[in-house]
Structure 1
Amino acid sequence: MTSILNADPAELAKFSDLAHRWWDMEGEFRPLHQINPLRMEWINSVCPLKGQQILDVGCGGGILADAMARSGAMVTGIDLAAKALRVAQLHALEAQTPNVQYREISVEALAAEQPGSFDAVTCMEMLEHVPDPASVVRACAALVKPGGWVFFSTLNRSSKSFLFAIVGAEYVLNLLPRGTHEYAKMIRPSELASYCRSASLDLRHTRGMAYNPLTRRYWLSADTSVNYLFATQKPASVTP
């Protein structure tokens, strides 16, 4: 069965090896901790989280899932990196985070098991790490209820993104471990928009994310040339 999973074993190993560092605010995952409040505020402004059933796809150590649960959502986080999931579970226990659970399952398998079960689905910084991102988008669309929201964030495949996200972030500023991203796996907004259309998700909002290395500050912007976020919505059921 492993051979048909939409996952790259090298990518899973990469993040599993760093699992113990997920909640080190000054460690390899510091950028995720820094951008998490921005992601949270944006998601919550589009789809208020309180009381909602939320799925976080590719949750890793639980940085976003934990924050969404603390905002009042009932959160399920899924990933295929077992060590990262154990870290997420341990953190939830230690921090006494309410209403969050984690499962080691692929998004495609969960879509077959629980279609139309979630008010919103988040899939952040994950699409650029899988062999078939379109398959993930389809599964996310299948998992959300009619009228529900699916949020994506990923990296644009552009010369600016190569310069900033790989050369700058990984080799010059050491913001990320070297080899975190592969240029060929990055996804242009037009490509992700096409995946969303094919999965019957309507693109509603797009934002970019910028970073100032001098102030070490991130902010949301209209510039999608490097990091960008999509808010998509599944059409509501049509009443005959």
Structure 2
Amino acid sequence: MLDKSQKTGSENFSREEVARFDALAESWWDPKGQYKTALAFNQARLEVIKTQIERHFGINSDVSDYSALSIIDIGSGGGLISEPLAKLGAKVTGIDASAVSVEVAKRHAAKEGVKVTYKHMLSSDVVKEQSQYDVVINAEVVEHVPDQQQLIRECASMVKPGGLLILATLNRTVKSYIIAIVGAEYVMRYLPIGTHAWRKFVKPAELSSWVGGAFELHHQIGMKLNPFKGEWTTTSSLAVNYIQTYRHRK
């Protein structure tokens, strides 16, 4: 019998992981819900993403007009990244392996009057379409798929020449095990137990090697939580959560 987390053919996703995120989908947007700390994390992460996009494309942060940009959010979940970027005017596509998450994202966008194209599909499907974008975002997804290298390579292939690839994940360190799994899941219950598997965490050097020679690492920064205030801030340490930005060489 095939293991639920095993890759089958071109299907680079885990049915067990998708089911786990199906169960979380309705909670994504609740600022007072059980996973409000994860929502706060997303807000801090989004500020980093926006800053990198604006610097790369020369967008005035006071105006924040993204109307010239096409963006795809790989593993868009409930739309926590896709929707805010679409509000800034970008043409945003969000894809996810979870049909439930896609429907939650669609409903929320409709409620807010925001235009986002959400699709229930995999990154491999986008590659087959030969679609490319100014910005490709893959945030906290690579640690949940069977073939991590394939996912990153597929994301890289979607970036237009001169475009931007933004990756966010967790580092495979002792500190990340203590904080992200023992602390966040078992002690503080910020996330359901079993959300992460430490062995699937990715070292920054591994990501860089998977991205390939068509890109250059432009920026990397870590994220840290103040558990007393429930606030997330950036840090120079990449030991736990981190974000990397790559420029496509023209």
- TM-score, normalised to structure 1, is 0.92
Paired position in structure 1 for 2:143: 128
C-alpha contact 1:55 1:77 (8 A) present in aligned 2: yes
Q: Report the CA distance between 1:2 and its aligned residue.
A: 5.9
Q: Does 1:83 align with 2:97?
A: no
Q: Which runs of 5+ in 2 are unaligned?
A: 1-6, 55-65
Contact 1:196 1:203 in 2 (8 A): no
- Supply the distance in 1 between the matched residues of 2:11 and 2:128 (Cα, whole angstroms): 13
Please, which runs of 5 or more residues in structure 1 have no aligned partner?
none
CA RMSD of aligned residues (A): 1.6
In the alignment, what sits opposite 2:4?
Answer: none
How far did residue 37 of structure 1 move? 2.8
TM-score, normalisation: structure 2:
0.89
Which residue of structure 1 lines up, in the alignment, with residue 53 of structure 2? 47
Equivalent-residue separation in structure 2 for 1:68 and 1:52 (angstroms): 10
**Same amino acid, percent of matched pairs:** 37
In structure 2, what residue type is equivalent to 1:230?
Answer: Q
User: Structure 2 matches for 1:1-240, cutoff 5 A?
Assistant: 3-48=9-54, 49-98=66-115, 100-115=116-131, 117-197=132-212, 200-236=214-250
SS of 2:18 mapped into structure 1: helix
SS of 1:4's equivalent? coil
Give SS of 1:56's match: strand
Partner of 2:62 in structure 1?
A: none
| Aligned pairs, number | 233
- Within 2, Cα distance between the matches of 1:69 and 1:132? 29
The offset of 1:3, in angstroms, is 4.6
Per-residue CA shift, 1:81-137, capped at 9, x if unaligned? 000100000101111113x1101111111012033x211011101110001111111
Change (3 A) 1:68 1:138: same
